[in-house]
Amino acid sequence: MFGFLNPRTQHLSYRSLYARGCQHLKLSYGVRSLVFHSFESVFLYGYAADVGAFDRTKVPAKRCCKLQASKTLLEQPDRVYGEFTASLSMLLTSIKLEDDILDNNSMLARTAKFGLRKPIQNTNAYFSTIDARFEEKTSSFIQEHHNLERSSRSVTVEELAKPTADGFGYMFEMYSHLPKLEGHRESLRTLGNHVGSAIIAYDCGVDWKRDHRNSDFNPVTCEAEAREALRFSARELRAAARYVQPIIDDDDGISAEVLDTVADRVEHQAGDQGEPQEPFQPKKEGCGNNCSEIGLNSCCLCGDASGTCCCEGGLELCCGCC
């Protein structure tokens, strides 16, 4: 789930939105929440900019927030969108932790969940102000997914993806309750459906060997099925990109570009296209760690174009690669 919509781009227009999202996340849920900054949340924040909900040019052009988040941000026009997407990051975090606890009884996940108990409570409270049945509905999507995993019958990748597709559709649709997004209810739900389907199909396609070794459920049982799951994921991303492109009224919009870029990568993994262009990977000189290799793509996206990771200067909490 985490990092799927990572476009691995160094474009300043995207990096500025990413850094702004970091600021909103820190302001809403504290500095420790920054390691859970979600690319799916950045995508949704960028969507609001793409459709003109707030003025993109007012977002400071910077590659890294440097852990700075002044309370003056509370008064900015984009705050309402940043608060929602920050809350989405924490929601995805809580779901991931719960899943790890359920599947593996992970002590690390239990510890993290305990440490994040207040932000998670605040996240649920925030979304409940939009929909009083929020916790009931999200729980039903998760339970439906677990029921499919425990089913005695054969389950396809498409079937397994549906509860998550519905869940993301529901969450994205809630975004339409914010100012200037009221007319985007159907569009956001459709985008969420496609993104949710793509995430689950991708997980099935890349994790099937590990899942079978660990006796975890996965409908994929061989390389051919794995490739088809990846192709299904890519098709969902392409459908989302085609859907969103006519909606965007900003020449610098990122939504369709992110979806197509990730689809390119998934198609390459499925063996359906040539080698994609290798993205720049931030690496702090002397620290010896490539952030992407140790699972820190998200926080280390803030590395600058020279290859200097933003953990330089005392920001180790953000970038654990240092």
Tell me the mean pLDDT in the region 115-140. Answer: 95
Q: How confident is the model at residue 206 (pLDDT cuts 50, 70, 90)?
A: very high
Between CA 92 and CA 98, with CA 94 as vertex, the angle to 5 degrees is: 115
Structure confidence at residue 18 (pLDDT): 93
pTM given for the model: 0.82
Cα gap 269→285, rounded to integer Å? 30
Q: How confident is the model at residue 70 (pLDDT cuts 50, 70, 90)?
A: confident
Structure confidence at residue 296 (pLDDT): 39
Structure confidence at residue 306 (pLDDT): 37
Cα gap 297→42, rounded to integer Å? 14
Cα gap 242→46, rounded to integer Å? 16
Q: How confident is the model at residue 159 (pLDDT cuts 50, 70, 90)?
A: very high
Structure confidence at residue 279 (pLDDT): 44
Mean pLDDT of the chain: 84
Structure confidence at residue 235 (pLDDT): 97
DSSP string, 110-141: HHHHHHTHHHHHHHHHHHHHH-TTHHHHHHHH
Query: Residue 257 has what DSSP assignment?
Result: H
Structure confidence at residue 269 (pLDDT): 93
- DSSP-derived 3-state class of residue 99: helix
Cα gap 304→32, rounded to integer Å? 22
Q: How confident is the model at residue 122 (pLDDT cuts 50, 70, 90)?
A: very high
Cα gap 235→284, rounded to integer Å? 36
Query: Residue 280 has what DSSP assignment?
Result: P
Tokens 């425990």 appear where? 150
Question: Which domains are present in the chain?
Answer: 12-279 (1.10.600.10), 280-322 (no CATH)
Tell me the mean pLDDT in the region 36-46. Answer: 94
Cα gap 130→286, rounded to integer Å? 47
Structure confidence at residue 322 (pLDDT): 29
Residue 46 reports pLDDT greater than 70? yes
**CA 55 from centroid of its chain's CA atoms:** 23
From the list 187, 94, 181, 194, the residue with the least C-alpha distance to 134 is 94
Six-digit token string for 252: 């610098």
Q: Are 194 and 238 in contact (CB under 8 A)?
A: no
Tell me the C-alpha to C-alpha distance, in Å, between residue 124 and each of 121, 188, 312: 5, 20, 34
In this structure, of 107-111, 128-132, 151-155, 278-282, the range with the lowest mean pLDDT score is: 278-282
